Structures are given as structure tokens and as C-alpha cells.
A and B are shown apart, each in its own frame.
Chain A
């Protein structure tokens, strides 16, 4: 999104002054403007038709050649005029042209700095991106096998590429797969292939599977997709930079560390630890141990987890938790959530939290979200800056509820037979009472307080600074 905006801004900043300069009366008929316009048009057309081409990164690296081409064309015009004895074109840059040059330098330098911050630009005539775009793809089959009786831990080091690990009953490590090398020629690719052999080494109870991509100078050109069968009883540790991990049927633990990966885990007997700098999805189903997720990413799906779950980081997508037998602790920059058990489900995204059939004590502190929690048992403590809250306990056996909202409505629906001691306050807004005269309403300034006891029960405290409070009967 940001590169697209930057490209559009760059296009506008270049094309508008170009047109203004070109429209000036008395301007000599130079080849430069039409050629530059055609080149720019072609670039943006390429960006629209083939969005996978990293145009922003290419422009960020190669924009100085725009100035060189501009100067070269003007120089070619001078030489052409000299050779045909026509009057020489003026070499002076007009005020508009100088402004344009300054703009191009400023924007180009800005793009370069932004790009360097997030990606490394290769050195050389085309750099690594050049190989990725202009190079050819060469594939090599991968195969490896080693007895692994007595191995308890396997380490997989694969910088780029997808890895699929499956636990089997056979006491051996068996690998099949494909290596992809992008290079300008077959001999380059062959050389890179030879420099990065697939290695399986077994030492004592530990095995290491290595794709050796780091031995090739420019390791970004190589990617290994591996299908690995391992003895079911092992623990797995995997490290990578870019590529997905898919792990199934292991009795031991799984530890994954990567810069950018999607992770899918199924039927894992031990603890799971996933540390990612970036991810599109982390999915774990049927895990017997604890689950610990760290880093940044988008979606998380956890289902049937027997151990405690800790999620710490920044996740921008949908987070879904189903059937967690032990506590969930979710911590991000804006949210801190602690739930004792989730027999049902809890779903969280950047604007909403919905939960049904959860067991407290439940504690949630967050900034801006609409919150719906249904069928909860045990105590609930909620601290919210902005958003509407809807609470519906599971049964008439209530526990303590404490909800504070700075701006938003608070809706609490209780079973008709519930017993409780209520104090519900809004500093600015109205209060609705569904429990009749047992609760007393006091209005003050722009707000109101509803308080009183219905039978003998736990304390329910609701407070909003701005918004309505509604207490209704099921």
C-alpha cells in the first residue's frame, strides 16, 4: 500500500512539472520529455499489469539512472545537432527543470532510505533483486536418508524454503524435496547447487539437517523445499528466514524460529515454541504440551491445546482460540488478556473480541474494541478505553464482575433468577433497569447510578464515563 502511494506521488511529481515545462511556448522540440514520459508510462503499466515485480524497490535503487538517461539524451541531441550542422540546443537547465531534479533527488533518496530500512539492496549491476527478476529458475531434486535409532532431537536449518516434517514409526530420517536456484546461467546454478549440499549428520541422540544455503555467496537465490520423515518420538527445532513450516505427528516438542514463516502444527505431544518476526498464519491443533508464541504476524488459530498458552507480540489478523484446557495469556502493546480456560471459543481481531463458553477468572485490559463475552463463569475484570461491551454470564451462579469503560455502552444480561449486588454508573448517559424496584436509580448532572441488591450475591460493578448502561433480564 505504502509503496503504491509513493509510486503514485512520484509519478504525479514528475509528470505534472514535465507537462508544465513541455507546454511552455517557444520550447525547443526535445526528445527528452516524450522518451521520459514513455519510460515512466511503461514502468507504471508494468506495475499495474505485473504487481509482483517489486517496482518500488527497483526505483528506490536505480532512480539515479533516470537522471543519467536524461543527461545522456540531451547530450545525444547536442552531438546529433553538431553532426548535422544544425544550431545547437541550449544546454541550460530551466528553473522548472532544476526544481524537478531536486524533487527527483529528494524523493529518490527518501525511497532508497525507506527501502534500505526494510530490505537489503544487492550490490552489483543488478543485485540480488536483479537475479530474482531477470534470472532463470533451475530445479534440482533433493534426496537423503539416514538411520536415526536413538535420536531424540532433530535440528533443521533451512534459510529459505518450505519444510514439511512428519513423524512416522520408521527409525530413520528420510528427506525428499526440491532445490530451486535462480541464476543467470545453468553453470552459475550448478555451482550454487554444488556449494549448498543437503547434509544429514547424526551425533549421539541429536541429528542436524542442513541445506547449507549460507555457503553460497548470494544465498537469496536458493530455496529448498523439504519433505522430511522422522521417527515419531523426537523433538524438533527448526530455523529459517523465509518459508513455511508444516509439522505433523510428533511426540516431542517443536521449536521454530524464523524471520518470515507460516506455521502449521498438528498432533504434537510436547511443548510448542514459535518465535517469528513476521508470519501470515500460525495454526496449532491437538497439542499436549504448552504453547508459546512470540513475535509479529497476522492470524493465529489454536485448537485443542492441553497445556497453558502464552501469546506475546503484535498480531494484526484474526486470532482464534478453541478448546484450551489451561490458561491463555495474550499480551500485545495495547491488550492484556488472561483467561483461565476456554472450553468454547474466543476470537480477537483489531476491532472486536468475542468469546463464548469461557471460564474465568477473566481479566482484560485493552484500548479500543467492541467486546462480547457470553456464557462465562467465574469472575470477570474488564478495563476498556473505547468500545461497547456486552456481557452475558452462563448461569445464575454469578461471580464478581468489574467492568470499566471510558467511552462506550455497557450491556449486562443476567438470568432472571440471579442474585447480585449491583452498582452501575454512567458519568454521561442513561441507565436502563430490567430488574424493577429492587434496584434504585439516582440521576446526577448528565449521568446516573443504578444500585441495589437482588438477593444475596456477588458484587457487580459497572462504570462508563460516556455511554449507556443497560441491565436486562434474560
Chain B
């Protein structure tokens, strides 16, 4: 996952934090609005996929 010189790219560094924030946000939406987690969870896949695409694009 790291670059050839061993450094971590920006997209790799932010993937974990962004996913954590997203999980928390989806549960908060579930608790305080009408958007239940059972309906919004596919966003996790979409955002994770987008982050991976960004990482691939960045590493080329």
C-alpha cells in the first residue's frame, strides 16, 4: 500500500478516518433523522470504492 519509498500517500492516510467518520455519521442519521442505517449502509461501499479508485489513480 505504501509508495516505493515507504511513505504513505494522502489517500491511504485518510481512508481509515473517512470510513470511521462515515460509519458514525450514518448511525447518527439513523438515531436523529428518518434515514435508518439499514437503508444508508451501501454508502459505506460506495465511499470505500471511491477512495480505492483515488488511491489507484494517485499511484499511477
**Is there an interface contact between A82 and B17, defined as CB atoms closer than 8 Å?**
no
**Is there an interface contact between B16 and A92, defined as CB atoms closer than 8 Å?**
yes
With known contacts A67-B21, A87-B7, A88-B7, A108–B27 Cβ distance under 8 A = yes
B7's nearest neighbour on chain A, judged by CB, is A87
With known contacts A90-B8, A109-B27, A71–B21 Cβ distance under 8 A = yes
A74: which B residues are within 8 A, CB to CB?
16-17, 20
A72 at the interface (CB under 8 A from B): yes
**Is there an interface contact between A91 and B15, defined as CB atoms closer than 8 Å?**
yes
Give complex CA distance A254, B44 in Å.
58
A215 to chain B, nearest CB (A): 25
B8: which A residues are within 8 A, CB to CB?
87-91
**Is there an interface contact between B13 and A78, defined as CB atoms closer than 8 Å?**
yes
**Is there an interface contact between A64 and B17, defined as CB atoms closer than 8 Å?**
no
**Is there an interface contact between A64 and B10, defined as CB atoms closer than 8 Å?**
no
A1: which B residues are within 8 A, CB to CB?
none
Q: Mark B13-40, 1 if CB is under 8 A from A, else 0.
A: 1111111111111111011110000000
Q: Mark A302-343, 1 if CB is under 8 A from B, else 0.
A: 000000000000000000000000000000000000000000
Q: Mark A91-106, 1 if CB is under 8 A from B, else 0.
A: 1110001000100010
With known contacts A121-B31, A124-B32, A93–B16 Cβ distance under 8 A = yes
Count A-B contacts at CB 8 Å: 93
With known contacts A89-B8, A90-B12, A92-B1, A71–B32 Cβ distance under 8 A = no
A70 at the interface (CB under 8 A from B): yes
A420 at the interface (CB under 8 A from B): no
B54 to chain A, nearest CB (A): 12
B30: which A residues are within 8 A, CB to CB?
64
Q: Which of A106-130 contact B (CB under 8 A)?
A: 108-109, 112, 121, 123-124, 127
**Is there an interface contact between B32 and A70, defined as CB atoms closer than 8 Å?**
no
A67: which B residues are within 8 A, CB to CB?
20-21, 23-24, 27
**Is there an interface contact between A101 and B20, defined as CB atoms closer than 8 Å?**
yes
**Is there an interface contact between B9 and A63, defined as CB atoms closer than 8 Å?**
no
**Is there an interface contact between B13 and A88, defined as CB atoms closer than 8 Å?**
yes
The winner among A69, A74, A97, A124 for most chain B CB atoms within 10 A is A74
Contact of B27 among A105, A124, A127 (CB under 8 A): A105
A127 to chain B, nearest CB (A): 8
With known contacts A78-B10, A82-B10, A124-B32, A91–B27 Cβ distance under 8 A = no
Chain B residues packing against A (C-beta within 8 Å)? 1, 7-10, 12-28, 30-33
A68-B20, A108-B27, A112-B31 provided; 20 other pairs, C-beta below 8 A? A61-B32, A64-B25, A64-B31, A66-B24, A67-B20, A67-B24, A68-B28, A70-B20, A71-B19, A71-B22, A72-B17, A81-B13, A82-B10, A87-B7, A91-B14, A92-B15, A97-B16, A105-B23, A123-B32, A124-B32
